Amino acid sequence: MLELLIAIFNGISIGSVLLMAALGLAIVFGLMGVINLAHGELMMLGAYTTFVVQNVLKGWGDSWFEVYIFLALPAAFLVAALAGLILEKGVIRYLYGRPLETLLATWGVSLILRQFVRSVNGSIAMGIGVFCCLFFGGLFLLRRRRNWERIKKWAIPTIGSLSLAMAIFKILLLVNLGNKALTKPWFSARNVDVTAPVWLQGGLPLGDFQIPSARIFIIILTLLCLIGTYWFLHRSQWGLRIRAVTQNRTMSACLGVRTSQVDGLTFALGSGLAGIAGCAVTLLGSVGPNTGQNYIVDTFIVVVVGGVGNLLGTIVAAMGIGTLDYLIGSKTLVPMLVGVEPWESFFDFFGTTSMSKVIVFALIIAFLQIKPAGMFPQKGRTSEL
Amino acid sequence: MMNQRKGLGKKKLLIEGVAIVAIALILAFVIPAVLPAFRLKLLGRFLGLAIVSLGIDLIWGYTGLLSLGHGIFFALGGYGLAMHLKLQLPSGELPEFFTLYGVDKLPWFWQPFSSFPFTIMAIILIPSLVAALLGYLVFRNRIKGVYFSILTQAALLVFFNFFNGQQKLINGTNGLKTSTEHIFGVMAGSDSAQWAFYEITIVCLILAYILCRWLTSGRFGRLLVAIRDDEMRLRFSGYNPTGYKVLVFAVSGAIAGVAGALYTVQTGIITPKFMEVAFSIEMVIWVAVGGRGTLVGAIVGTLLVRYARTILSEEFPEVWLFFQGGLFLLVVTVLPDGIVGWIRDKRWGKKRVITYPGLEEMVEPQMNADEYG
Amino acid sequence: MAQGLGRRKFLIYGSAGLGTSLLLKACGGSPTSGGGGDIIKVGILHSYSGTLAISERTVVDAEMLAIQEINAAGGVLGKQIEVVQEDGSSDWPTFAEKAEKLIEKDQVVTIFGCWTSASRKAVKDVFESKNHMLWYPVQYEGQECSKNIFYTGATPNQQIEPAVDWLLANKGKEFFLVGSDYVFPRTANTIIKEQLKAKGGTTVGEDYLPLGNIEVTGIISKIKGALPNGGVIFNSLNGDSNAAFFKQLKSSGLTPDKYPTMSVSIAEEEVRQIGKDFLVGHYAAWNYFQTVDTPQNKEWVKRFKAEYGEDRVTNDPMEAAYIMVYLWKQAVEKAGTAEDLEKVRMAAIGQSFDAPEGKVTMKANHHITKTVRIGKVRDDGLFDIVWSTDGPLEPEPWNQYVPATKGYGCDWSDPSKGGKYKI
């Protein structure tokens, strides 16, 4: 009995990590129809933010270090949300209604972000600063000219390439000067170590077993995020606008909702949740440039199985996939099936962490045969637009 | 008028045929004479990859289905040929790696691969059957668009896990090496065999091109474009697109299988790495750079991107990912028609492909049309 | 439309600008290609990108340090060493492709490189068919002995087998084997199982995680189920999975006093990345630790830190990489030529070097003798050496516990014996 309870707890804790990662994706995908393959990299940014916050607080003394996670969570949210906002304003805005192109563009962004954390150093950061100053400063000055509309066709590319050239020149100059403080990568390709505070390293004893406190923390965090998201979408002014735009963009625009603002906000919210998820996974594993890649496919599957635009579906799907994966991968089912050939040898063959994924995927495909639109499909005419 | 157009079409076809033969002859005879052996080998591999981009172009550029799982078919083809090469041993002996894991009997699915005709059939048929099955299960439910992409990606992950985890069946991460094995008594890594593979690659590339050219012209091709542009309307006109989609996905899978086999013998190794997520998305970018919806574009794009990669990663490995990422952004925002499409725009001053393959549609949060019923 | 065009143009010009500057950098970046007759070209082939870059870059640092030192001391045969670096990008076929490029295009006289067994196996054919020379610095599973490869990492009998013996004598008889899902852990665990069978221990379970997977809950419950009252965990996980494994081991209450864990892929660098809090009290088996007490080691650590920074640590593969550059240099000097690989190969056999880990000697089977040590992770993230062999152990590439290779040896100094002969 206890073993079964433990199994369910483990399943739920795997599921809650999945859910945490999928929540932001479900919002962005469900409400905006945007496939964001850089979602995993936004998680990674959240994780790196946690690393930075932790190192800053380490300098302040032990009592600060014990509570770093509570500072890291909002910081990770803000950094990822900001990155998401830039991504939306810079790229995705131009690609609404073209989901496959969004998919490719966000994959490009994810490649760039991965390499960025590997090689970012003082000189590259300064180069980016120089570019932003020159480009946006130049735009600001030129915008005030009378003939802006006329010259903008060639002015924007000119300023853009000039400032880019300046920025790259600056980077090369700094690199050639050989100042080690500027050319040393901040994070480098190595994984960085995020050590949980002592109270999250242990666990609650329960009979022979011990329930990891980090797992409990993540489950509670997931619950809080769910409640927060629900409240925001259904009880707040902005949530109302978001839902309105989702249901009927044109009508909302006619009624005075600034749809582009709403888009930006929704995307930032989804990205921020990815940041929180990134912060949470630092409690479980290490942080590296490839952290996000471990999650991305699984989380998309969760969203697809759950049905788009439906938080409840996402929850059920995440928990279901998590539990299944655990039950098969840990061979919990084998003792119950002793003697029942061929099932015993079947579950024995697939009873490793790598092989359980094969079964889970087969089950998902089978499930989609019955319910092709996911667990809780949206009803209504909007669905076939 | 009709006749004139037909005549014009014939003339164009003739020009195209002559151009293909000319390029093929140059590739087959002139280039090997000019290029140093090492660069020639690279070219051979890239031409192998160009074959798989033809397959992707067929399914994505023409039919509008973005497959992120072509690595599966590519690797299946590669594994097929590699298994055949591994079995070129005196009877009773097992490929070396089996003994490492204490396997003393050849697994059953290896056995037919000792026959060469079976292997050739398997290289074509197994990937296309897998594609057909996956396609049928997905398309039957009218799952399409990004859902299809995500499911193919998940399938890729599953195949990767399976091949990566089965040391005893297929040598796991290490993969199968072919260059010291023998094919028809010749060592697969030797210069003469490599030269033969290079020539076979060119022949296969041309065959694949002709196949795709044939499929995408005429009635069938127009159907594919119709699926891409407005599947609903096609359905309303009384067609059932499922069969066509399954068929074209299977053909595309078969092409990828052949490409995989040719690439494998030229690199000398096949590993589950070919089923990694990144590699399959990279295939898509080759097509996108060259120009989707144009077969020449797929080939040109592959060669360009792969050469850029080789050169960049030789000079500064760090820049490659930035560059590749930038390429994705650039192609999507600035050059949606790819290089070939852009040149054609400039030259003819008008777009010949009216819609960008399947991308201008609205997102569909719903996959089935039950509500219509 | 006008705006769209503007954006489009901007991006075209922007990319053109970027391209030009990259080209400029390319031209400025490689001024020394070609070169005269007073240099010797060697290749370094490791992953500078991808998942393995983390580990392989540290090895490159050690190799570059050795080459710098040799060059500063006058070079080899009076010639300076010039390095051609290539990126294997953590991808085995790329390793094979780049190895070919280094040999054919750059005409290097030897290559130092590779990390995982899979990458070594991928390039092995290239080196054998071109009869070239590779130096490989990582501990590995054995069961291989190539004429064209020199191995300076440990074979299983120089790392895993002594560790298992030590565990049996000091920590318990029941073993749970955990590993990443690839050739080294699989083969290592085959060896361990045979060894336990021969020495009276038991294997209560084994499980494998895909490389990079960090969901370890399943494995931890399997361990608890199989070893309810404590026992030995033998860990050959590699990469990211380790961090997840040790973090959750601790939070599930599997402490080192009841569940001592012996790792064979965790060195100083990995301890730093996982976080030392989670590893304190666990064990690792290597030939070299930063805390090894020899004058050569103190000197080496000092030089390394001076070159790459005080916060860096040294570890076993880095030390093996450092050794192999010097062994190659000695072999070239004895042979009197760097280009005649046959002569260099013969000269390499029997070369000794006073390495940081102690004296090592290249044997006729192209492996080196090594001292084995077991370390326990300390509070500062370095290792306390709790046990070590009295002197260097002879390498055995063909494992003597595995039935299929029992009784086989390897001897490249005698043409009649070769890579695999019955002893």
| Residue contact B268–C18, C-beta within 8 A | no
Q: Please judge whether A308 and B365 are an interchain contact, meaning their C-beta atoms are less than 8 angstroms apart.
A: yes
Tell me A195's DSSP state.
P
Give how far Cα C106 sits from Cα of B314, C27, C70, Å.
12, 18, 21
Give pLDDT, residue B39: 81
Nearest beta carbon to residue A91 from set B281, B329, B365:
B329
H-state helical runs in A91-147:
99-119, 122-143
CB burial of C336-372 (b: ≥16 within 10 Å; e: otherwise) equals eebeebebbbbbbbebebebbbbbbbbbebbbbbbbb
Region for residue B171 given its phi and psi (left: phi exceeds 0; alpha: psi -120 to 50; beta: otherwise): left
Q: Which of A353, A357, A359, A361 to mutate to test the interface with C (most CBs of C within 10 A)?
A: A353
C118 at B interface, C-beta within 8 A: yes
pTM of the entire predicted model: 0.84
Neighbouring chains of A at 3+ CB pairs under 8 Å are B, C
Q: Helix, strand or coil for residue A147? A: coil
Cβ proximity of C32 and A182 under 8 Å: no
Kindly state the tokens that stand for B271.
Answer: 């590993």
Interval C21-41: pLDDT, tens:
444 444 433 333 333 468 899
B356: three-class secondary structure by DSSP = coil
When CB atoms are compared, the residue of C2, C17, C215 closest to A353 is C215
- Which chain A residue has the Cα nearest residue B362? A97
Residue B93 to residue A262: CA distance in whole angstroms: 67
Query: How far, in Å, CA of C290 to CA of C311, rounded?
Result: 13
- Measured CA to CA, the distance from residue C199 to residue C292 in angstroms comes to 30
**Does the pLDDT at position C11 exceed 50?**
no
Chosen for mutation from B269, B323, B343 (greatest number of chain C CBs closer than 10 Å) is B269
Give the C window 232-251 contacts with B, CB below 8 Å.
none
pLDDT band at C407 (very low <50, low <70, confident <90, very high): confident
Check CB contact of C68 with chain B, cutoff 8 Å.
no
Chain B residue with CA closest to A373: the answer is B367
Tens of pLDDT, residues B117-135: 999 999 999 999 999 999 9
Contact A153 C248 (CB under 8 A): no
Residue B301, pLDDT above cutoff 80: yes
Instruction: Dig out the tokens for C382 from the structure.
Output: 């370095």
Q: What is the mean pLDDT of chain A?
A: 82
C336 touches chain A (CB under 8 A): no
Q: Is B43 left (phi over 0), alpha (psi -120 to 50) or beta?
A: alpha
Chain A residue at shortest CA distance from C15: A161
User: Residue A278 has which token pair?
Assistant: 């990134």
DSSP A93: G
Given its phi and psi angles, is residue C366 left (phi above 0), alpha (psi -120 to 50 degrees) or beta?
left
C-beta separation of B51 from B287 below 8 A:
no
Interface predicted TM-score of the whole assembly (ipTM), two decimals:
0.82
Rounded CA separation A205/C351 (Å)? 57
CA distance A102 to B280: 17
Q: Which of A371, A357, A351, A368 is nearest to A298 (CA)?
A: A357
Contact criterion met (CB below 8 Å) for A69 and A197: yes
Q: Is the pLDDT of residue C42 over 90?
A: yes
- C149-151 and C134-136: which strand pairing? parallel
CA distance C122 to chain B (A): 7
What residues of C are in contact with residue B41 (Cβ under 8 Å)? Answer: 100
Chain-chain contact of B172 with C100 (C-beta, under 8 angstroms): no
Write out pLDDT tens, residues C169-183. Answer: 998 899 999 988 778
C252 and A210 within 8 Å at the Cβ level: the answer is yes
- Give the best residue of A117, A190, A200, A328 to mutate against chain C (max C CB count within 10 A): A190
Please identify among residues 217-236 of chain A the ones whose CB lies closer than 8 Å to any CB of chain B.
none
Are β-strands C174-180 and C202-209 bridged in parallel, bridged antiparallel, or unpaired? parallel
Categorize the per-residue pLDDT at B192 as very low, low, confident or very high, splitting at 50, 70 and 90.
Answer: confident
C-beta separation of C274 from C242 below 8 A: yes
Indicate whether C2 pLDDT > 70.
no
3 state SS of A204: strand
Per DSSP, the three-state class of C252 is coil
SS3 B186: strand
Alpha-carbon gap, residue C278 to C276, rounded angstroms: 5
Find the CB nearest A107 among B232, B328, B363. Answer: B328
Query: Nearest chain C Cα to B175, which residue?
Result: C118
Contact C143 B267 (CB under 8 A): no
Contact B367 A109 (CB under 8 A): no
- State residue C21's pLDDT score: 46
- Strand C39-46 to strand C80-87: parallel, antiparallel, or no bridges (unpaired)? parallel
The rounded distance, in Å, linking the Cα atoms of B370 and B344 is 42
Dump pLDDT digits (tens) for C291-312.
Answer: 998 999 999 999 999 988 888 8
Task: Tell me the residues of chain C between 242 and 301 that have a Cβ less than 8 Å away from chain A.
Answer: 242-244, 247-248, 250-253, 269, 272-275, 277-278
Q: Find residue C354's DSSP bridge partners.
A: C359
CB contact under 8 A, A372 and B151: no
Which subunits sit against B, judged by 3+ Cβ pairs under 8 A? A, C
Q: What pLDDT band is residue A379 in, cutting at 50, 70 and 90?
A: low
What long-range pairs does C275-278 form, CB within 8 A, spacing at least 24? C275/A193, C275/A194, C275/A195, C275/A286, C275/C243, C275/C247, C276/C377, C276/C379, C276/C380, C276/C381, C277/A195, C277/A201, C277/C250, C278/A195, C278/A201, C278/C243, C278/C246, C278/C247, C278/C249, C278/C250
Q: Which one of B334, B335, B337, B342 would you mutate to disrupt binding with C, by most C Cβ within 10 Å of its Cβ?
A: B334
Which among C208, C251, C268 is the top mutation candidate for probing chain A, defined by the most A β-carbons within 10 Å of its own β-carbon?
C251
User: Which residue would you say has higher pLDDT here, A122 or C265?
Assistant: C265
Per the DSSP assignment, residues forming a β-bridge with C87 are: C46
pLDDT at residue C191 tops 80 = yes
Comparison of pLDDT for A191 and C320, the residue scoring more:
C320
Question: Measured between beta carbons, which residues in chain A are less than 8 angstroms from residue B147?
Answer: 304
Q: What is the pLDDT of residue A258?
A: 87
Q: Which residue of B292, B312, B321, B335 to mutate against A (max A Cβ within 10 Å)?
A: B321
Pairing of strands B269-270, B176-177: antiparallel
Residues within 8 A of B (CB atoms), A 83-122 only: 91, 94-95, 97-101, 103-105, 107-112, 114-116, 118-119
Q: How much of chain C exceeds pLDDT 90, in percent? A: 45
Angle at C134 between CA C139 and CA C210, to 5 degrees: 45
Give chain A's domains with CATH numbers.
Answer: 2-120+185-377 (1.10.3470)
Point out the residue among A165, A286, A354 whose CB comes nearest to the CB of C240.
A286
Residues of B whose CB is below 8 A from A381: 371
Residues of C in contact with A285 (CB under 8 A): 214, 240-241, 243-244, 247
What separation in angstroms does the CA of B261 have from each of A21, A90, B79, C277? 38, 41, 7, 49
Could you give the angle at the alpha carbon of B188 between the alpha carbons of B182 and B191, nearest 5°? Answer: 135
Of the candidates C29, C125, C182, the beta carbon closest to that of B315 is on C29
Whats the size of chain B, residue-wise?
373
User: Which residues, other chains included, contact B271 with Cβ-Cβ below 8 Å and sequence gap of 6+?
Assistant: B173, B174, B175, B176, C92, C93, C118, C122
Taking 60 as the threshold, does the pLDDT of residue B3 lie above it? Answer: no
Is there a contact between A309 and A378 (Cβ–Cβ < 8 Å)? yes
Q: Is C393 helix (H, G, I), strand (E, B) or coil?
A: strand
Question: Which has more pLDDT, C288 or B193?
Answer: C288
CB atoms within 10 A of CB A235: 9
Token pair 């981009």 is found at: B53
**Cα gap A29→A39, rounded to integer Å:** 11
| pLDDT score, position A175 | 73
Residue B4 pLDDT grade (very low, low, confident, very high; cuts 50, 70, 90): low
- Whole-angstrom Cα Rg for chain A: 24
C217·A157 Cβ contact <8 A: no
Q: Which of B102, B173, B273 sits opposite C93 (nearest CB)?
A: B273
What's the gap in Å between the CA of C205 and the closest CA on chain A?
12
Residue A362: the pLDDT is 83
pLDDT category, A338, cuts 50, 70, 90?
A: low
